[in-house]
Amino acid sequence: MAVKTVGGKGSNTKDGNGSGTYSAKDIQVLEGLEAVRRRPGMYIGTTDLRGLHHLIREVLDNSIDEAMNGTCDRIDVIIHKNNEITVADNGRGIPTDKQAQTGKSALEVVHTILHAGGKFGGAGYKVSGGLHGVGVSVVNALSTELHVEVHREGKVFEQTYERGKPKGPVKVIVRGHYEPPMLSWKERKNPTGTITTFAPDPQMFPIIEWDANIVSNWLRETAYLNKALWLSLKDERDDRDESYYFDGGVISFVRHLNKSHQNLHPRPIYVEKTFENDTVVEVALQYNDTFVEKVYTFANNINTIDGGAHLTGFRTALTRTLNAHARKIGALKEADPNLTAEDVREGLTAVISVKIKEPQFEGQTKTRLGNAEVQGQVATAMNDILGQYLEENPQDARRIVEKCLTAFRAREAARKARDLVLRKGALDGFSLPGKLADCQERDPEKAELILVEGNSAGGSAKSGRDRHFQAILPLRGKILNVEKARADRMLGNEEIKAIITALGTGIGDYFDASKLRYGKTIILADADVDGSHIRTLLLTLLYRHFKALIEQHRIYIGQPPLYRLQLGKEVRWVHSDSERDKAVKELKAQARTKREDRKTAAKAGKKATAAETAEDEASAKNSDEGSDDGKGGREPAIARYKGLAEMNAEQLWDTTLNPATRTLRLVTLDDAEAADVVFDELMGNEVEGRKKWIMANAKKAELDL
């Protein structure tokens, strides 16, 4: 039952004095971990699949903290067949002695009390990612059962919890679930470590379904950020077994990101510097021949997707140092303006990793770093190494500077193209594209823009749509591949200009999400190879230039059906061959049941209705309502729809446009690094990488021959 409070007066019930009954008895104090179970979103963001996977991350971060402090060199993650998760490390093991403030075992304290841990400035950790002391206790609260096993001091300790509450005291056992070979990949006399196994609570999570790829990406990323750390993933559901280990650290990370490109210099520029306050700055960067910037920032191994002080320091030093070198070698004359930050970032791939004693993150999600001193430290480290590299490698330096100057000239051309579009728009009263069939709704959150492949399909969509809230923009042919084109050329493409104008947000420096005209943008293309290519081109455009719309969950892919099946008056639309086969069986079973029911009714002397008689007559001949299967039964009539234009307006509405019956796929961005690599491989200039990807994934292709 949901309770909705309107206004600010609490209950409407009046007491004798006419005041509300709101009093001290209405104030609740949530003890222990009850607050986590009441408001899980405050601690893990959501209770959908994203929040579910966050549980693994919270436990994993504790093991990674051990690695960052040099006391752990192996972490194992296991996805069990029963959907339980095990995270094991060979760190020091959680302390098990009595904690002074509570009188309880420290092991129990960190699992059952919020804001309890060894990362609040004590001597236990120099740096860590888990700073709030809520990670493992939150996982405990949201699990039906959590079992922790600690190898320490030559003993094995264990404790089990049920929805956050201990089922018994901490016990010493003879042997644990996992023996030393798993806990250590190096010979150790007395193996130490922590093994945590938990089962997410279905009362908290409506769907418990692990995506091994998400966990795999985390482990690979962590291995890049921590040199000589071994991480492994075992998925018992399909016997998947993977391990990650990189001696090169962030250098290997940059090489991985650039593997599908032609690089301007053979090896990444790298710096690692430790400052007086024990802050460690590690940066690797490399330029390539693309037009896209890929910079990833981390603080204590946490991906700070919104950047922060370390990113600002990096960009400041990069722009300053490249401008100084360009003037020194005469590439920039005295009268020339400086290169901007945008110019020096084109084609740049970089990874910035800082490790800090007391990082200041924004909230539990930790998406932005706020430590002001880090900006100067990163800038200092970058100034020294980049300046030295440019001096010692003049040919590489010349190529990098020329790349930046080319970006400057292209930016000027793009600005003129944008200004031309804006001026033309002003003369036209900022009119929308002529082929856009706009909707009547003016509230963006209630309106949707449907990008339809082809003018013919666009005509059917315009006739079949609900013009109150659905706008249709037909696209002619395939748009430009923006992965291979600079901004000035992209802005000259008529189809892309129409999309930019229809969305209303602008692009590049002019992008403003608040001006978005439609809350949903739906890509609607044919269910064939060409349709897939068009979807990919549109997704490339949206990812590279409208990423904020993907992050805000505003981009969808429409799913037109492949087949229409009819048997008698029963009609089914299905999206795949497997769905078709299932629907055929169901329709035939329904028809068989109807025939048997009529025979039974006839024997009982009941007369058939007019509709039943007409259906029986249709069954005697082949028609659009089915055909004779030669066995006394009927086969459904099956129509294959390769293109949207093959459907009339009514069919398109029923199957693809009607919110009550259509199928939409939400485009999400759970892993920006993986998305970058895929777009590079499939849409970039490097043919060899695309060829390898196709060969590796050929068996997964669904061919329509």
Instruction: Give per-10-residue mean pLDDT for the chain (705 aa).
Output: 34 47 55 71 80 90 87 92 93 87 85 64 49 69 93 90 92 76 59 92 92 91 90 93 92 90 93 90 94 90 89 95 94 90 92 90 72 94 93 94 89 68 46 83 93 87 92 88 78 86 83 90 86 86 88 91 84 85 86 77 68 57 55 76 83 90 85 63 63 62 52
Mapped onto helix, strand or coil, the DSSP state of residue 568 is coil
453's enclosing H/E stretch is strand 448-453
347 Rama sector, left if φ>0, alpha if ψ -120 to 50, beta otherwise: left
pLDDT value, residue 348: 95
Structure tokens at 662: 């259509």
**DSSP-assigned states of every residue in 629-651:** -SSSSEEPEEEE--SGGGS-HHH
Q: Kindly state whether residues 532 and 554 are assigned to the same domain.
A: yes
- Between CA 479 and CA 538 the distance in angstroms is 7
Amino acid 168 reads G
**DSSP-assigned states of every residue in 41-90:** HHHHS-SSHHHHHHHHHHHHHHHHHHHHTTS--EEEEEE-TTS-EEEEE-
Mapped onto helix, strand or coil, the DSSP state of residue 35 is helix
Q: In 10 A of CB 376, how many CB atoms?
A: 15
Going by the DSSP 8-state scheme, the letter that residue 171 receives in this structure is E
- Between CA 531 and CA 557 the distance in angstroms is 11
Q: Please, which residues have CB within 8 angstroms of residue 565's CB and are 6 or more apart in sequence? A: 571, 572, 573, 574, 580, 583, 584, 587, 636, 637, 638, 639
Classify residue 650: in a domain, yes or no. Answer: no
Residue at a domain's end among 227, 244, 261: 244
194's enclosing H/E stretch is strand 193-200
Q: Kindly state whether residues 132 and 234 are assigned to the same domain.
A: yes
Q: Name beta bridge partners: 87.
A: 77, 196
426's enclosing H/E stretch is helix 394-427
The CATH number of the domain holding residue 293 is: 3.30.230.10
Residue 528 among the catalytic residues: yes
Handedness of CA 475, 478, 483, 488 (dihedral sign): negative
Choice among 272, 293, 384, 530 that is catalytic: 530
Q: Please, which residues have CB within 8 angstroms of residue 577's CB and are 6 or more apart in sequence? A: 562
Classify residue 25: in a domain, yes or no. Answer: no
Classify residue 474: in a domain, yes or no. Answer: yes
Torsion of CA 211, 216, 221, 226, to 10 degrees: 130
Domain total for the chain?
4
- Between CA 353 and CA 302 the distance in angstroms is 9
Choice among 528, 551, 570, 671 that is catalytic: 528
3-state secondary structure 484-503: HCCHHHHCCCHHHHHHHHHH
Classify residue 461: in a domain, yes or no. Answer: yes
pLDDT value, residue 118: 47
Q: Kindly state whether residues 357 and 491 are assigned to the same domain.
A: no
Q: Kindly state whether residues 170 and 226 are assigned to the same domain.
A: yes
**Burial group, residue 31, by CB count within 10 angstroms (0-12, 13-18, 19+):** exposed
Count of CA atoms in the C-beta half-sphere (13 A) of 78: 16
Cα-only R_g, the chain: 31
pLDDT value, residue 48: 87
- Between CA 237 and CA 30 the distance in angstroms is 38
- Between CA 601 and CA 591 the distance in angstroms is 15
Choice among 65, 73, 453, 483 that is catalytic: 453
Query: Among 19, 156, 29, 10, which Cα is nearest to 94's?
Result: 156
Classify residue 610: in a domain, yes or no. Answer: no
Q: Kindly state whether residues 323 and 396 are assigned to the same domain.
A: yes
Mapped onto helix, strand or coil, the DSSP state of residue 14 is strand
Pairing type for strands 348-355 and 294-299 reads: parallel
pLDDT value, residue 120: 39
Amino acid 454 reads G
- Between CA 465 and CA 474 the distance in angstroms is 13
Q: Kindly state whether residues 237 and 320 are assigned to the same domain.
A: no
Determine contact, residues 140/116, Cβ cutoff 8 Å. no
Amino acid 239 reads D
Residue the block writes with tokens 């909705």: 4
pLDDT value, residue 13: 44
pLDDT value, residue 104: 85
The CATH number of the domain holding residue 188 is: 3.30.565.10
In angstroms, what CA-CA distances link 677 with 256, 259, 316?
8, 8, 26
Determine contact, residues 313/375, Cβ cutoff 8 Å. yes
pLDDT value, residue 689: 62
pLDDT value, residue 629: 56
Structure tokens at 455: 């003018």
Structure tokens at 204: 């908290």
Q: Kindly state whether residues 46 and 171 are assigned to the same domain.
A: yes
Q: Kindly state whether residues 482 and 513 are assigned to the same domain.
A: yes
Q: Kindly state whether residues 459 and 580 are assigned to the same domain.
A: no
695's enclosing H/E stretch is helix 687-697
- Between CA 138 and CA 34 the distance in angstroms is 10
**DSSP-assigned states of every residue in 111-162:** HHSTT-SS-SSSTT-SS-S--SS-HHHHHHHTEEEEEEEEEETTEEEEEEEE
Determine contact, residues 112/102, Cβ cutoff 8 Å. no
Choice among 108, 282, 526, 686 that is catalytic: 526
Query: In sequence order, which ranges of 160-249 are alpha helices (DSSP H)?
Result: 180-183, 212-225
Q: Name beta bridge partners: 640.
A: 563
pLDDT value, residue 252: 93
Domain membership of residue 213 as a residue range:
37-244
Q: pTM for the full model?
A: 0.66
pLDDT value, residue 419: 62
Q: Kindly state whether residues 401 and 275 are assigned to the same domain.
A: yes
Amino acid 299 reads A
Classify residue 545: in a domain, yes or no. Answer: yes
Q: Kindly state whether residues 199 and 291 are assigned to the same domain.
A: no
Residue 453 among the catalytic residues: yes
Residue the block writes with tokens 């060979």: 90
Classify residue 603: in a domain, yes or no. Answer: no
The CATH number of the domain holding residue 532 is: 3.40.50.670
Q: Kindly state whether residues 134 and 232 are assigned to the same domain.
A: yes
